[in-house]
Amino acid sequence: MSEIITGALSHSGIAQNAAAYYSARVREFGPTPQGADWNSKESQALRFDQLLQVVDQSKSFALLDYGCGYGALLEHIHGKGCNCAYTGFDVSAAMLEHGRTAHGNDPRVCWTNDHDALCPADYVVASGIFNVKQDTPSSAWHAYALELLEHIDGLAVRGFAFNMLTSYSDPDRMRNDLYYADPGVIFDYCVRNFSNQVTLAHGNGLFEFTVLVRKDPGDDS
């Protein structure tokens, strides 16, 4: 995973730092869950299953993987047998190169770090992009996260899903370089700004929560 392209949001310095962080991870650990800063393949798959609940998988769909990393979500989707046109968006050239190497010949797959090349998709999924704030103050990271959610909302036609570390995590396990969001605050923001069809899933044992935002494609609000 990685963050948005620099310049797409006003918090471009934060995005640059995040891109450098994840590029270093994948160079050290390769295209593995550890390379995307996850503990295990099992926890990564659990997150993907929760995020994909926003998708009607009985029909063909177009999906934008926002902060796609090396394409682990695409591998997961293929394993489920979904009929999906996939766009992976990431600023890390190292991450994207791994994705292209593994899936470069698939005509329904596109990899890009060009924000201007992004088109609205049926669904947008973002896994882990809000977690690693490094030395950014929590208040500035919170503002960055909300701005990024606004950006994702504008790209999602039928809905989007994302996850965040929860502020209800055990205090002795919380790290200063990570961002822990209040799930109630995030839920309220999504309902007030994006859709009244919002689901909050908390308590999967991973010290995080998942938000699913479903939208009426005919509703431009």
Question: Strand locations in 27-118, DSSP E?
Answer: 61-66, 84-89, 109-112
DSSP tag of 171: G
Query: Which amino acid appears at position 167 of this protein?
Result: S
Q: Supply 48's token pair.
A: 């993907």
pLDDT (0 to 100) of residue 2: 38
**For 32-53, what is the mean pLDDT?**
79
pLDDT (0 to 100) of residue 178: 94
> 9 falls in which pLDDT band (50, 70, 90)?
very low
pLDDT in tens, 90-134: 888 888 888 888 887 789 999 998 877 899 999 999 999 999 898
Q: Is residue 10's pLDDT more than 60?
A: no
Q: Report the chain's mean pLDDT, rounded to a whole number.
A: 86
Count how many residues are written for the chain: 221
> 208 falls in which pLDDT band (50, 70, 90)?
very high
Of 200 and 40, more confident: 200
Of 124 and 27, more confident: 124
Taking residue 154's Cβ as centre, other Cβ atoms within 10 Å add up to 12
- 156 and 215 Cβ atoms separated by less than 8 Å: yes
Query: Which amino acid appears at position 110 of this protein?
Result: C
- 58 and 48 Cβ atoms separated by less than 8 Å: no
Of 35 and 221, more confident: 35
**For 143-165, what is the mean pLDDT?**
95
Q: Give the closest residue to 108 by CA, choosing from 89, 140, 85, 126.
A: 85
- Among the listed ranges 16-25, 75-84, 114-123, 180-189, which one has the minimum average pLDDT value? 16-25
Q: What CATH number has the domain spanning 12-214?
A: 3.40.50.150
Q: What does the DSSP assignment read for 181-218?
A: E-HHHHHHHHHHHT-SEEEEEE-SSSSEEEEEEE--TT
Element (H, E) at 139: helix 138-155
- Among the listed ranges 27-31, 126-130, 176-180, which one has the minimum average pLDDT value? 27-31
pLDDT (0 to 100) of residue 154: 96
Give the domain ranges of the chain.
12-214
> 88 falls in which pLDDT band (50, 70, 90)?
very high
> 221 falls in which pLDDT band (50, 70, 90)?
very low
Cα 162 to Cα 44, 104, 127, 130, 150, distances in angstroms:
13, 26, 6, 9, 12
- 47 and 1 Cβ atoms separated by less than 8 Å: no
Pairwise CA distance, residues 50 & 146, whole Å: 21
